[in-house]
Chains A and B, each alone.
Chain A
Amino acid sequence: MGLMTLDVPEASAGYSHYGVLARFETAKALYRACEAVRDAGYSKWDALTPFPVHGLEKAMGLKPSKLPFLVLATGLSGAGLGFALQSWVHIQGYPLIISGKPLFTWPAFVPVTFELGVLGAALGAVLGMFAFNKLPTYHHPLFRSKNFTRVTDDGLFIAIEAWDPKYDDRDTAEFLSGLGAVEVEHVPIDDPADDSDGGGAA
């Protein structure tokens, strides 16, 4: 999880552009366009939206998140460690006979076992989500685009990356405008100060 690193694969070496960024006017248009990009066989691309457009993963051909498996594992670990801690404390660490009860009083350990299981699962869900999403990633070529600030407001975007095998500077841009994009621009990789070569409305 690279703090302060570009979320750009090594493949980007030698490319002058990050890729093409296209803005769509409605969620419906974006959905249709995603289906078309998927069907055209692109693989290094993304849809960028201010809110989760429901069902877009189908249009993009993405597989469901694997996060639940991680959450299950961390949850069970939390519960297991919690139960082990309590058993160890009462059998080994500090054995005290209270009210003539046995040392291994497992029913009394249930609440803390449960709570620690929830803690483990919740930490797994949040930290796992950060890891899967490579968050935090404070620098990204897309932030070079002036237009892109709209992605957290009302902008619905598709970005196709330059190292996609099917990518072509001109054809891909034309393909996206053909799908109904209202703005199409090339996003540079370097030089944060420079955004002059982007922004050309198609």
Chain B
Amino acid sequence: MAQSQDNTQEPVAGRAPLIVGGYDFRSLTEAVAVPVERKTPIGWWFFFLPSLAMLGLFGVSIGWLFWEGTGIWGLNNPVNWGFAIVNFVFWVGIGHAGTLISAILFLFRQKWRTSINRAAEAMTIFAVMCALVFPGIHVGRVWVAYWMFPLPNQMDMWPNFRSPLIWDVFAVSIYGTVSLMFWYVGLIPDLATIRDRAKTRIKQIAYGIFALGWRGSHRNWLHYERAYLMLAGLATPLVLSVHSVVSMDFATAQLPGWHTTIFPPYFVAGAIFSGFAMVMTLMLICRVLFEMEDIITMRHLENMAKIMLLTGCMVGYAYGIEMFIAWYSGNPYEQFAFANRALGPYAWAYWIMVSCNVLTPQLFWFKKMRNHIGWLFISSILINIGMWFERFVIVTSSLHRDFLPANWDYYQATFWDFASLIGSFGLFFTMFCLFARFLPLVATAEVKTVLPEADPHQGEELVRVVPAGAGTEPAPQAAPAGGGGS
């Protein structure tokens, strides 16, 4: 289906439709359920098999790490934190856009979120999974990784709750748990849809178990919607706290380049920025692969581009303020750290970061570029490269020149560093491919609520905006689902 209607323009009267193509309840169910039910499309294997290969590389690199130790990475004495922590912060950040879409936009009643929130939440969970791998594997003595948790043990030893590193353990693992619950609660009605449409007994049972016997009772919807609202209200401060806590891993250290109060908001903005770029990449592929251009419309893409422009500018502002404060502080170590960041051995990484993160989104000032599919795709990739480099710059360029020049060294990533980075993408994309294949990609029950006929007071004063059929089927909007009834 081509772009059947432009819904990026707000009409003078009324609102532009959130989804186009003249869907009613039944055809919407079809559009979302059929990709789950039909034979696997060839295009899916095209994404799944390379992802699986990358996941295999992840397994090998972790196995070798456990066998040989962290010496296989390019770590050296001043740079004790390398790719592992960079990847960790990168993946946690990716997750944040999913929660922003599912929770914060829900609280702000941004109804356009309904088309993309399911996929964005799934992305959050898979990103947090990738993130959680790294603190687990980077500790060196992995067999005592359980020391991170307050578990009673024979040594009568407990974690130090005054350390931001332990805050991080709690913040990220609880963030993953709450995101998973939020996602699953949203899935229940749609799993029931797949259960009720299932043709085989196995599918009926498999989806049925997870649908929990949902039958759409309004007495249930009442508690359900309340639970959803509460989860959104809880996830909102949670997501802001998570990347703030992650930033405190750095900010509470005394190292110039890390020791700044701007870190929490700066990290949160960057997290949302990179996360939206990842949602954009995934949605651009999914909407074509699963023929959902009318549900995930240009309007959704344009709105995401606007958020990327906003958060990109916030990130750019933070880069500027960091430089200004370094100069204004009068502290020679701070001044050196930032001059070295822009002009020193890692200047190449710094300028990749600035050009990808600050310059790329500026083109989104123009509506034409916000509606340009090709540019949206390229910029989303560039932004993710830039945001990975942001974390790389923060970690390595601050560490490699610390207070004592005798300590100075240059961190060079090894093959196994890259293997774990690429491998984590393998884990992420494998999970996402499985999700897109076996679960409803769009929150059908929620999208139905934004169809005009879902409004019980749809009446004389409200006129349905019928698509002025640009080439597609005329879709005269009769009473919904007239087909099978009576």
A112 touches B167 (CB 8 A): yes
Known: A50-B216, A115-B167, A129-B224. 17 other contacts (CB 8 A): A26-B458, A27-B455, A28-B458, A49-B218, A50-B25, A57-B222, A90-B162, A93-B156, A119-B177, A119-B178, A122-B235, A126-B185, A128-B223, A136-B212, A137-B213, A138-B213, A153-B26
Most interface-central of B196, B218, B453, B484 (chain A CB within 10 A):
B218
Chain B min CB distance to A147 (Å): 9
How many chain A residues sit at the interface, stated as a range, is: 35 or more
B484 touches A118 (CB 8 A): no
Q: List B contacts of A60 (CB < 8 A).
A: 218
Given contacts A68-B226, A133-B220, A142-B215, contact A121 B150 (CB under 8 A): no
Among B178, B184, B213, B446, the residue within 8 A (CB) of A118 is: B178
**Is A52 an interface residue when CB atoms closer than 8 A count as contact?**
yes
| Between-chain CB contacts (< 8 Å), 5 pairs | A111-B170, A119-B177, A122-B181, A129-B227, A153-B29
Chain B: CB-nearest residue to A62? B222
B485 touches A129 (CB 8 A): no
Query: What 0/1 readout, one digit per residue, does chain B (159-190) give for beta carbons within 8 Å of chain A?
Result: 11110101100110010011001101100110
Q: List B contacts of A89 (CB < 8 A).
A: 150, 158-159, 161
- Chain A interface residues toward B at CB < 8 A: 23, 25-28, 30-31, 46-57, 59-60, 62, 64-65, 67-68, 71, 75, 85-86, 89-90, 93-94, 96, 98, 101, 105, 108-109, 111-112, 114-116, 118-119, 121-123, 125-126, 128-130, 132-133, 135-140, 142-143, 148-155, 157, 182-183, 201
Q: List B contacts of A64 (CB < 8 A).
A: 222, 226
Q: List B contacts of A59 (CB < 8 A).
A: 456
Q: List B contacts of A140 (CB < 8 A).
A: 213, 215
What CA separation (Å) do A116 and B455 show in the bound complex?
38
Q: List B contacts of A139 (CB < 8 A).
A: 213
Most interface-central of B158, B457, B458 (chain A CB within 10 A):
B158
B196 touches A115 (CB 8 A): no
**Is B234 an interface residue when CB atoms closer than 8 A count as contact?**
yes
Q: List A contacts of B231 (CB < 8 A).
A: 122, 125-126
Number of A-B contacts (CB under 8 A): 225
**Is B219 an interface residue when CB atoms closer than 8 A count as contact?**
yes
**Is B479 an interface residue when CB atoms closer than 8 A count as contact?**
yes
Query: What 0/1 readout, one digit per residue, does chain B (451-486) give for beta carbons within 8 Å of chain A?
Result: 001111111000000000000000000011110111
Sorted from nearest, which 7 A-B pairs have the closest CB atoms?
Answer: A31-B456, A154-B25, A129-B227, A154-B481, A136-B212, A51-B448, A152-B193
A52 touches B218 (CB 8 A): yes
Q: List B contacts of A125 (CB < 8 A).
A: 227, 230-231, 234
Q: List B contacts of A150 (CB < 8 A).
A: 196, 481, 484
Given contacts A25-B485, A54-B455, A149-B197, contact A143 B215 (CB under 8 A): yes
**Is B408 an interface residue when CB atoms closer than 8 A count as contact?**
no
**Is B208 an interface residue when CB atoms closer than 8 A count as contact?**
yes
Chain A min CB distance to B244 (Å): 8
Among B167, B193, B218, B223, the residue within 8 A (CB) of A153 is: B193
Chain B: CB-nearest residue to A151? B216
Most interface-central of A28, A49, A64, A130 (chain B CB within 10 A):
A49
**Is B200 an interface residue when CB atoms closer than 8 A count as contact?**
no
What CA separation (Å) do A26 and B478 show in the bound complex?
11
Q: List A contacts of B41 (CB < 8 A).
A: none
A96 touches B227 (CB 8 A): no
Q: List B contacts of A93 (CB < 8 A).
A: 156, 158
Judged by DSSP, the binding face of A is: helix
Chain B: CB-nearest residue to A149? B196
A65 touches B222 (CB 8 A): yes
What CA separation (Å) do A28 and B451 show in the bound complex?
13
What CA separation (Å) do A75 and B195 show in the bound complex?
34
B223 touches A129 (CB 8 A): yes
Chain A min CB distance to B301 (Å): 24
B161 touches A109 (CB 8 A): yes
Chain A: CB-nearest residue to B156? A94
B227 touches A128 (CB 8 A): yes
B161 touches A116 (CB 8 A): no
B241 touches A115 (CB 8 A): yes
What CA separation (Å) do A121 and B453 show in the bound complex?
35
What CA separation (Å) do A56 and B458 show in the bound complex?
14
**Is B245 an interface residue when CB atoms closer than 8 A count as contact?**
yes
Given contacts A46-B218, A62-B218, A119-B174, contact A126 B181 (CB under 8 A): yes
Given contacts A56-B456, A96-B160, contact A116 B226 (CB under 8 A): no
Chain A: CB-nearest residue to B445? A51
Q: List A contacts of B454 (CB < 8 A).
A: 27, 51, 53-54
Chain B min CB distance to A73 (Å): 12
Q: List A contacts of B219 (CB < 8 A).
A: 46, 62, 133
A118 touches B212 (CB 8 A): no
B216 touches A108 (CB 8 A): no
What CA separation (Å) do A48 and B241 show in the bound complex?
38
A154 touches B245 (CB 8 A): no
Most interface-central of A52, A67, A71, A135 (chain B CB within 10 A):
A52
What CA separation (Å) do A107 and B249 show in the bound complex?
16
Chain A: CB-nearest residue to B230? A125
**Is B92 an interface residue when CB atoms closer than 8 A count as contact?**
no
B223 touches A118 (CB 8 A): no
Q: List A contacts of B197 (CB < 8 A).
A: 149, 152-153
